[in-house]
Amino acid sequence: MRHGPSYGASLGGRYWYDDVTDTIIRENGPDMPRPAGVSIATLTSSIAGGSAQPRTPSKQTSSSLEGPWHSPGLGGQYMYDRQADQFVSPDGRRVQRPSTIARPSPTGNGGGGSAGSSSQTDVAQSPAKSPIHFNVYTAEYAGRPNHVAVFVETQESGGHSGRLFQVVGSVVRGGGGMRYEDKRAHNPVDSHSYAEGSLRKIGIVAQADLGRFRAICQAVPVPGPQLNLNSTLIDKSKPLRRCIEWTAEAVLALQEAGVLHSTA
């Protein structure tokens, strides 16, 4: 509710008090938060009898506010008052545009941008970015049989580089079994041991889910020793698990967790 008008020299002349936003609305100056030394009771009682209608300055109307705009430096989402060159938070708090932040481009709709409008952008005049996704592949490297791994094209080392998720080692008795690896890697096709034509895109992963992606891969059991020196199975009741089987299990776990998404 808005109370007023009243007059206070210390507040710059005639003003109103908005008890919803706890704001002093000044006739000849920008709005301001209620000073800590001024109680709400004092404001509401001193201007309760005012007969004049509270002003409704154009800068307070939704039609004069543009946005929403977003600025991490200002703490999130703001509307923009072009006339006053101020950002207005959802709770009505106003912040004068810092010199380090460019004046937002006009929205093109007469300044009437709303929370769901297409005018949402960054106050530094860069378009809002869509969530970043990385391509996910399986790749094979020459061997007997071929070695298989999962490659995520994060481009963290430039170009088409990324991360390789794989298990390496021996499944022969005495060889210690296989071990899990998550490491930076060049594009598999640039490897001298790459099996020509084997790079296959299997989906995408959101950048925000990359941590979960890594955790899920790490949680897939690594193959242990399973073969005797004569290549017979140590435990004939269990199928042989090597990098090929581990990769298939990891991909399935990622899909079931909703982390690996199909692009089809």
Domains contained in the chain, number:
3
Examine the domain organization and report whether 140 and 220 are in the same domain: yes
Please report whether residue 52 resides in a domain.
no
Examine the domain organization and report whether 83 and 137 are in the same domain: no
H-helix segments, 4-138? 40-46
Please report whether residue 76 resides in a domain.
yes
Examine the domain organization and report whether 222 and 144 are in the same domain: yes
Examine the domain organization and report whether 77 and 39 are in the same domain: no
Cα(33)–Cα(126) distance, integer angstroms: 31
Examine the domain organization and report whether 169 and 229 are in the same domain: yes
Residue with tokens 């059991």, as numbered in its chain: 221
Please report whether residue 128 resides in a domain.
no
pLDDT score recorded for residue 15? 72
Query: pTM for this structure?
Result: 0.51
Reported for 229-232, long-range contacts at CB under 8 A and 24+ positions apart, including other chains, are 229/172, 229/173, 229/174
What value does the mean pLDDT take over residues 176-197? 94
Q: Locate 206 and state its tokens.
A: 């959101």
Please report whether residue 262 resides in a domain.
no
Domain boundary among 103, 122, 141: 122
Examine the domain organization and report whether 77 and 190 are in the same domain: no
pLDDT higher than threshold 50 for residue 247: yes
pLDDT score recorded for residue 90? 66
What value does the mean pLDDT take over residues 186-215? 94
Higher-pLDDT residue of 170, 47: 170
Residue 227: phi, psi to the nearest 5? -120, 140
Examine the domain organization and report whether 218 and 238 are in the same domain: yes
Preceding peptide of 5 cis, ω within 30° = yes
Please report whether residue 263 resides in a domain.
no
pLDDT score recorded for residue 119? 35
pLDDT score recorded for residue 199? 96
Mean pLDDT of the chain: 76
Cα(162)–Cα(210) distance, integer angstroms: 12
Please report whether residue 127 resides in a domain.
no
Q: What is the pLDDT of residues 69-82, one digit of tens each?
A: 665 555 556 777 88
Window from 68-77, 162-171, 173-182, 232-241 with minimum mean pLDDT: 68-77
pLDDT higher than threshold 90 for residue 99: no
Examine the domain organization and report whether 41 and 63 are in the same domain: no
Examine the domain organization and report whether 140 and 251 are in the same domain: yes
Examine the domain organization and report whether 212 and 149 are in the same domain: yes
Range of the domain at 113: 58-122
Q: What is the pLDDT of residues 101-124, one digit of tens each?
A: 667 766 443 333 333 333 333 333
Please report whether residue 199 resides in a domain.
yes
Examine the domain organization and report whether 33 and 78 are in the same domain: no
Please report whether residue 158 resides in a domain.
yes
Cα(218)–Cα(82) distance, integer angstroms: 52
pLDDT higher than threshold 60 for residue 92: yes
Residue 209: phi, psi to the nearest 5? -100, 5
Window from 61-75, 84-98, 130-144 with minimum mean pLDDT: 61-75
pLDDT score recorded for residue 28? 64
pLDDT score recorded for residue 198? 95
Cα(125)–Cα(104) distance, integer angstroms: 6
Domain boundary among 122, 143, 171: 122
Residues with Cβ within 8 Å of residue 56, at least 6 apart in sequence? none
Domain boundary among 83, 103, 122: 122
Q: Which of 10-24, 33-47, 132-146 is the most confident on average? A: 132-146
Examine the domain organization and report whether 39 and 66 are in the same domain: no
Window from 124-128, 228-232, 236-240, 256-260 with minimum mean pLDDT: 124-128
What value does the mean pLDDT take over residues 28-34? 70
Q: Which helix (H) or strand (E) holds 252?
A: helix 243-256
What value does the mean pLDDT take over residues 47-68? 49
